[in-house]
Structure formats: C-alpha cells, structure tokens
Amino acid sequence: MSIDIAVVPVAGLGTRLLPATKSQPKEMLPVGRKPVAQHVVEELALSGIGRLLFVTGKGKHSIENHFDTDGDLITYLRESGREQALAELDFERQEMEYFYTRQRRQLGLGHAVLCAAPLVGKQPFVVALGDSIIGLNAQSDIVARMTALFETTGADVVVAFEEVPRDEVFRYGIAKPRGSVDDVFDLESLIEKPAVDEAPSNLAVAARYVFNPVIFDKLAETRPGKGGEIQLTDAIQTILSEGGKGLGVRLHPHERRYDIGNFGSYFRAFVDFALADPQFGDGLREHIQALLERP
C-alpha cells in the first residue's frame, strides 16, 4: 500500500512571531486567503495523503476547529444566499481523515515526531512541518515525488532540500551529499544548523521528509542536540551513520518553500500569495508599484 499518512508537527511556540502569535498559533496566520495549516493540508492532499496526524501543543485548538465541519455556518451561509462564501468552505469536504495528539513537553522537533509513534506504528510515513508551505498556493507534488522514490528505491529516509545562500546555512539542517547533486542525490550525512564555515554544502532541509518507522527507534535514543532540543536531523544522521540509505530530493526552481517561522519570510510569503490572488492581485500590484515609485 502506498504511503498515505503524514505527521504534521505544529507544537512550536512561535516566539519569533510575537506578538502575532501570543494567543493564536503561527500555523493559523493567514497567507493570502487561507491559514498556513490549510495550505499545508491542501498540498499534502495533492500528493495523495489521506490521513493527517497533527502533533499539537498548548494554545493550538484553533487548528482543530478550522478543520471541523461547521454545520451552523454552512446553514447560515446557504440560507442567506452567500454562495461565494460557501464555496470557500469546500476544503471541509476534502477526503481527509484528521487525527490529533499533543506534545506535552517542549523538547524539540524530534520529540514532537516521536509523539506520533503510538499512532503511526510500523508503517512508513511523511513528516511535513506545519510552518512551511511548498510552492505558490501550495501547488507542489514534492511529497508525491518523495514517497514514489522511497517506495522504488527502498530508502530508509528521503528528505526535501532547497539551496540557500551560504551565509544562511546556520538556520537549517544541511546535507553532505555523496557524489554529484542532481534532482535526486545520495545523502552521506546531515548536520543541524552548522556554523557557516563548517557547512558541507548549501543544501538545506526543506520541511518535508519520508521515513521508515525505524526513525522512531532512533529518536527514542537521541540525546538533546542544538539548542538543547531533541533534533530530528540527529536521528536521521544516526540512520545514515549506521549504513542506512538516505536520499535527497531538490525542490524545483518554481517550487519555493514559504517559511512562516519569522516575520521577514512571512511577509514575503503573504505578498507573493496576495499578488497571485485572482480578485485582488492586480490591484495590489498597482498599489505596490505606486508605493515604490513614490519619491
């Protein structure tokens, strides 16, 4: 059976986005018309994912509420003839099963993924970080490409990568590729947030992974690493160093990763999605052009 379950960690505190995230999760911030989490779910649905397990935490209830079917709202919109607004709720009917579990202590991304172990069990699975959208309007099949590769190659782990400027490698998990780097490449090793002069490349982990469930065993053994947190990158590195097979898949040039983890990249993501809006994009473009031309 092909891989159809994705774990979406959304337990992070979002402190880099305060005060916007003081009482709402960063995954519910709007990017264009939709909250980040909805873009992520739509991207995963495009790639054939049918079951989603959110790993949530304190203050994240609005994510669960968002994916509920709101019968009262539907009735109200139907009775008041608001067909357009009704159409905006189409995503509620998406054929997706939702599951939720909580990370009860903030021990890092690796620990959040480990919280999914009792529910995922012994099947291969996808991890999609809930604060990153791949592709404009989430129109990316990166996860489908990764799961296909996982199944045909017998890899233990497949990771998505994007090239980042050299002076920004310290923000990401960075790959050391084995051999030449094409759209798909062999992973020799992986290091979390290296210093600029220690980074083996500028290929940065881009928020999407496919795992053999053996990752859970490795996560259970992983000690706190960078920032005192249990790092997913470190558990992947254990698999690689023990002879496991890891593959990297590069995002296509048109397939940007929109990172909603800090204001700089959040603002850029919002502007890109808003400019692509069929109703308001052109007007916004004119507004920005006029602003930029103002002396």
Residues that bind ligand G1P (CB under 6 A): 109, 129, 132, 172-173, 192, 204-207, 232-233, 261
From CA 24, how far away is CA 259, in angstroms rounded?
Answer: 17
Q: How far is the CB of 131 from ligand G1P (least distance, A)?
A: 7
Sign of the CA dihedral with 268 first, then 143, 36, and 78 last: positive
Q: How far is the CB of 256 from ligand G1P (least distance, A)?
A: 13
From CA 112, how far away is CA 61, in angstroms rounded?
Answer: 17
Enter the tokens of residue 160.
């998505």
Q: How far is the CB of 156 from ligand G1P (least distance, A)?
A: 17
Q: How far is the CB of 142 from ligand G1P (least distance, A)?
A: 12
What separation in angstroms does the CA of 240 have from each of 146, 184, 244? 18, 16, 5
- 3-class DSSP state of 53: strand
Q: DSSP letters of 34-46? A: EEHHHHHHHHHHH
Nearer to ligand G1P among residue 160 and residue 274 (C-beta): 160
Q: How far is the CB of 270 from ligand G1P (least distance, A)?
A: 18
Q: How far is the CB of 226 from ligand G1P (least distance, A)?
A: 8
Check: CB of residue 101 under 8 Å from CB of residue 53: yes
- 3-class DSSP state of 24: coil
Check: CB of residue 231 under 8 Å from CB of residue 109: yes
Q: How far is the CB of 221 from ligand G1P (least distance, A)?
A: 18
Sign of the CA dihedral with 48 first, then 51, 54, and 55 last: negative
What separation in angstroms does the CA of 224 have from each of 56, 159, 206, 207? 20, 21, 21, 20
Q: Which residue is closest to ligand G1P by CB?
A: 173
Nearer to ligand G1P among residue 113 and residue 274 (C-beta): 113
Nearer to ligand G1P among residue 202 and residue 233 (C-beta): 233
